Structure 1
Amino acid sequence: MAKIAINIATGSLQQADMIVGIDLGTTNSLVAIIHPESKQPVALKEHDSSSLVPSVVHFDETGNIAVGEEAREYLETDPQNTVFSAKRLMGKSYRDISENASFFSYRVIDDDTDSLVKVQVGDKFYSPTELSAFILKELKQRAEHILKTPVTKAVITVPAYFNDAQRQATRDAGKLAGLDVLRIVNEPTAASLAYGIGLDREQETTIAVYDLGGGTFDISLLRIANGIFEVLSTNGNTYLGGDDFDRAVVKHWTHQFNISDEELKQNHELAQGFRLRAEEAKKYLSHHDTYSVAWHNHVLELDRDTFDGLIAPLIGQTIECSRLALADAGLTAADIDSIVMVGGSTRVPAVKNAVSGFFGKAVNDTVNPDEVVALGAAIQADILAGNNKDLLLLDITPLSLGIETMGGLMDVLIPRNAKIPTKAGRQYTTQKDGQGDMRISVYQGERDLVKDNRKLAEFSLKGIPAMPAGLPKVEVSFLINADGILLVKAKELRSGVEQGIEVRPQYGLTDAEVEKMLLDSITHAKDDMQARALAEARTEGEQILGVTEKFIAKNSGLLSGEEMIATAEAMQALQLALTMEDKNLIQSKIESLNEISRPFAERAMDAAVSGALKGKKV
């Protein structure tokens, strides 16, 4: 059995461990390490191939999964079974992405609820966590092939604006891919490290990290002092990037040749051809003044000035985001000491000029913008491995801390390796009408089901005022102070009812027990994820049955006889599915019930609105 060497006092791994840095990107992903001889960060690639792995997953009819370059080829030929930009779905609900649902060519299940989003491919349902795990697994295997050694530990980067749910989903994806995720690092922090900013503990500086990738843009302002990176503000657009530059060029050419959007939709080969030529032109014009190619009975031409004019409105949007980020941080452009450029699209000269003009100083773009985040993650990994003695890591929690939620699931509030002192909070609600108390059970461990973790404490929040299920708002907060003492509090926000408990430090675990818990979480990651998905599907199914039952009792007059029969059959089918061990079956029955109930739910809404407006002049 492999042993995980871990220093219980700091949570840092021993020097012998190989820890990789991973940039899990929206468009492309890659792995980097600190080269054992040069001690410099390098992105892993085979011979002359690119270090970038497209963040694309394709599922064929027989269930085979392709990731990366191989999968990207299916974006045009088999779009409904090819998933791209899964990162945009991480930790999101249906409502969060509804405005941009048309962006995705594959089926994102939309039943207008706050449940986490799911992607349907054929008769299977995948969470964004599972989709990201396929990409991480490909990166892990690629690294192992190049390094000729097992890779089980990683630092993974995320955007600074990622919330707790999105960070946890990224950790889960790593675990599912067979990786022990030692630290989640903000992408701008990683980029700063790659430029050597923050490595000198005496240095105090304020920087802007301008990150323009293939599909997303974000700007982050950071204050760095004493080796601590503080994010002052972030802004951006998760639907703006280099792909939009390509689209602007395609539109310019198709307009020239009177080719309609409809024609492009019907002819995948034509559309893909134009897109590839546009991407080629964009790259070529970074170093030349004119681009020209004969293709498909057309001569496609573009000069630098025309290209700059086409993309000017898009660049303008990024500058406006930068202006807002400065305002939010209470800073002016003159307060920024350095502008770090990240993302392949920052190679475009017009982008560099606009950013430099806005901040009033030259941009810092000496590190490969495609690789800079992964290189920074590798530096962070090296610090964790104990190889970089110049940087001090604060004391950190050796195992994740969380509470039990419905279905016996572990909901992590403070992930392992979080710096101490730290605090985190999340809101929960009641499951039953009139529920007067809520049990808070605190657990420690890395498994998805609480039965596989270690129980630390339990208390009840009593005196919750009688309200319908879902109405009370109970905030559970964890605070670990500098002495490592965990304080857990639960407060019902509407009434102010409060209860708390103190859990002593180190929680009585030996090095061997921590080691075993970490190893078990990796070994059982797939089983755990399936158990979690099944428990979540059952919980969702039971809630939908309850809601539908209540609705029918209240609005039976709005339903026809046929609708009553169809609804009863769909409810029965879902009830039966809940007794089985098949997550996909439960979710398909939930979807069927939603399809049947949607029309009469809309009728009930219309009736309620017209009733409310009766007698009123609008």
Structure 2
Amino acid sequence: EYIAHSPKDIALHIRREVKRHEFEEIIEEKLKNTLALIDKALKDAELEANQIDRVLLVGGSTRSPIVWDLVTQHMGQEPHIEIDPDAAVALGAAVQAGIIAGEEIDAILVDVTPMSLGIAAAEISFAGQLIPDQFAPLIRRNTTIPVQHSKVFSTIYPGQDKIHIQVYQGEEETASDNVLLGDFFIEDLKPNREMELTDVTVNFSLDINAILDVTVIERKTGKEVRKQLKASRQRLSSQDIASSQAKIAAVYEQDEIDEDDETGEIDDLSIEIDPGTKALLERAIKILSKENLSADLASKISVTVEKIKDSLAEDDSEQTELYCDELIDWLIEAEE
């Protein structure tokens, strides 16, 4: 795939001289992100810029004068130039390759995971409300690898014999706001607790090659399930997504304006949404953008959201709960 083609569909080569100020404008967002990452690294290390002894620039892009100037200003000191930015990358890669190969290396190179890894889980609020789509990290960001962590999770309702494991990478509290690495189902669960609930142990093992091995162990039988994670990339049309998301977004309006057709009067209607219902609606927004979601299922989700909206406006908590249960069923179907 090429940027430009000739009328005969031949790939064209484009050459253009870019002035420095033009180049700096093009990479402005990258420069801002660089400074944000510096601040993030300092925060993680619980240090201030003035506590850093030396600043080293690594990578060919740091040869740009704008990078040098911004880092100098941000850190309060000029970077050291005794290390070749390009050679530093190559040497670091060589050392890492030696460690992986089992060679004796006269240096310590510690690798960490850049983002947290975890699964989507439901939580029970103090008010007894079920809050779905919560991110439960098993391996935190900046954890040295290789690493292995386990956590015990339980089914939600009595007799539940299937759970949906969704593995995410990121830092957002709402699971679906993070990057989905993959998902799979665990079926034929056997209860091991009162009220026919089932405990499972979810184990994450991240090796030095950044390969994540997810194992789910049923506590009662000891049955293990280990799956390869896959994710598709096909999406709904932009029109379908915009239409459905607009309907759901209306639920969040604290003041909804209803115009009377006959009198032209405007009524101010305040809708209060509990955290559980709000989280469910946020989850619906994400699902509507899910790959391979059928138009029929998207319509069912949108219609149910409208029902929730109406019941909230009428302050009918029982009906709202029924519609929320209906929406959960549609969302589970969409995630299968």
TM-score by length of 1: 0.23
Greater relative contact order, per chain length (Cα 8 Å cut-off, separation 6+): 1
TM-score by length of 2: 0.39
